[in-house]
């Protein structure tokens, strides 16, 4: 029988619609999932932002890594962060789900909001935040567990699902991550036995299994071969209908192929932010033009 995740405690709580612009719910995040009834269609307009970053400064000790960054990240789109090494792309990404909390000398000021949630608040529940804002790293990092247990890990932590509900959710996540057909006969085998590209798709399945609203991807393809890279890019294209994706990439072709919006960073500042087509074909800033055309960086 198909499990009903929306009957679970955590999900019910998170489904609360708090404001007009905060309509992303787990119900929507799981839309299409066998575990959730059909979501009420929600009008997505350009005005709806998954993340609002206003005048964000960030430091590591005395070193200021971000200077007054302002970017509004639209819902259900792919936004690419590009720029030369050390310009602050990952720092910004890591504030979005508070991974920087693991760095004692990191601090930030300014505004970083997801709907009504202040992501910089000291009192935020970071475990719950990381369920709502998933992250996939440059190097795939499956747990030393079975393929099944990797995907089931988050749901076991955050939801009260019985065995069959969990099995359905694991299958759904692996299908979404375009990995099901390759692993369905070896779910109990170690995840570390998968190829690099498969491991990365597994990490994406693991991230979406808990119904995040936003998926952060920090150079997810930089360790992959062209075929696996293409698989991940296809996947992003598929996932964008349900999730907001933010990707850090050094690959200009990838940014121009996969993203709707692009932000170009330089020395901790956003030099230019706008529709990807425009950034790549008609940038307003000379520095952006030089970077996207490969003249520096």
Ligand X SMILES: Nc1ncnc2c1ncn2[C@@H]1O[C@H](COP(=O)(O)OP(=O)(O)OP(=O)(O)O)[C@@H](O)[C@H]1O
* Residue 91 engages ligand X in binding (rule: CB under 6 A): yes
* Residue 112 engages ligand X in binding (rule: CB under 6 A): no
* Residue 173 engages ligand X in binding (rule: CB under 6 A): no
* Residue 60 engages ligand X in binding (rule: CB under 6 A): yes
* Nearer to ligand X among residue 49 and residue 265 (C-beta): 265
Alpha helices (runs of H) in 223-263, residue ranges in sequence order: 226-239, 252-258
Closest of 18, 254, 219 to residue 136, by C-alpha = 219
In what side-by-side order are the strands of the sheet with 49-60?
A: 63-74, 49-60, 106-114, 117-118
Q: Find the binder of ligand X among 74, 88, 134, 142 (CB under 6 A).
A: 88
The region of 81-89, 127-135, 139-147, 172-180 touching ligand X under the rule CB under 6 A is: 81-89
- 40 burial type by CB count under 10 A (0-12 exposed, 13-18 middle, 19+ buried): exposed
Closest distance to ligand X from the beta carbon of 60 (Å):
3
* Residue 65 engages ligand X in binding (rule: CB under 6 A): yes
Name the DSSP letter for residue 105: T
Estimate the crossing angle of helix 226-239 against helix 196-208, to 10 degrees: 20
Cβ atoms 148, 187 nearer than 8 A: yes
* Residue 87 engages ligand X in binding (rule: CB under 6 A): yes
What are the DSSP calls for 158-183, one per residue? H----HHHHHHHHHHHHHHTT-HHHH
Q: Find the binder of ligand X among 77, 90, 198, 259 (CB under 6 A).
A: 90
Q: How many residues bind ligand X (CB under 6 A)?
A: 12
* Residue 86 engages ligand X in binding (rule: CB under 6 A): yes
- The per-type count for the chain, helices as H runs and strands as E runs, is 12, 10
Non-local (6+) Cβ contacts of 94 within 8 A are 100
The C-alpha atoms of residue 127 and residue 242 are separated, in whole angstroms, by 22
* Nearer to ligand X among residue 108 and residue 209 (C-beta): 108
Q: Find the binder of ligand X among 27, 75, 89, 131 (CB under 6 A).
A: 89
Q: Find the binder of ligand X among 54, 103, 127, 157 (CB under 6 A).
A: 103
The region of 69-77, 84-92, 175-183, 202-210 touching ligand X under the rule CB under 6 A is: 84-92
* Nearer to ligand X among residue 65 and residue 177 (C-beta): 65
Q: Can you give the binding site for ligand X, defined by CB under 6 A?
A: 60, 63, 65, 83, 85-91, 103
């Amino acid at each position: 029988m198909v499990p009903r995740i929306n009957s679970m405690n955590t999900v019910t709580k998170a489904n609360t619609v708090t404001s007009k612009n905060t309509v992303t719910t787990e119900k929507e995040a799981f839309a299409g999932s066998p575990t959730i009834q059909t979501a009420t269609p929600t009008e997505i307009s350009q005005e709806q932002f998954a993340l609002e970053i206003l005048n964000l400064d960030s430091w590591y000790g005395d070193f200021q890594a971000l200077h007054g960054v302002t970017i509004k990240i639209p819902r259900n789109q792919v936004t690419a962060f590009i720029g030369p090494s050390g310009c602050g792309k990952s720092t910004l990404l890591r504030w979005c789900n508070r991974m920087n909390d693991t760095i004692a000398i990191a601090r930030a000021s300014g505004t970083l909001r997801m709907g009504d949630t202040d992501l910089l608040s000291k009192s935020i529940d970071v475990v719950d935040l990381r369920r709502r804002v998933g992250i996939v790293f440059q190097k795939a990092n499956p747990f030393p567990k079975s393929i099944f247990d990797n995907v089931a890990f988050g749901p076991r932590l955050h939801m009260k699902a019985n065995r069959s509900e969990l099995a359905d959710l694991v299958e759904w996540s692996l299908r979404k991550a375009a990995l099901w057909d390759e692993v369905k006969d070896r779910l109990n085998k170690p995840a570390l036995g998968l190829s690099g590209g498969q491991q990365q798709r597994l990490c994406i399945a693991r991230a979406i299994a808990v119904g995040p609203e936003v998926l952060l991807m920090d150079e997810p393809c930089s360790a992959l071969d062209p075929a696996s890279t293409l698989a991940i890019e296809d996947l992003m294209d598929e996932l964008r209908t349900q999730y907001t994706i933010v990707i850090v990439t050094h690959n200009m072709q990838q940014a121009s192929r996969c993203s709707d919006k692009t932000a170009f960073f330089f020395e901790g500042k956003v030099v230019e932010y706008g529709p990807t087509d425009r950034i790549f074909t008609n940038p307003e800033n000379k520095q952006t033009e030089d970077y996207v055309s490969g003249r520096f960086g």
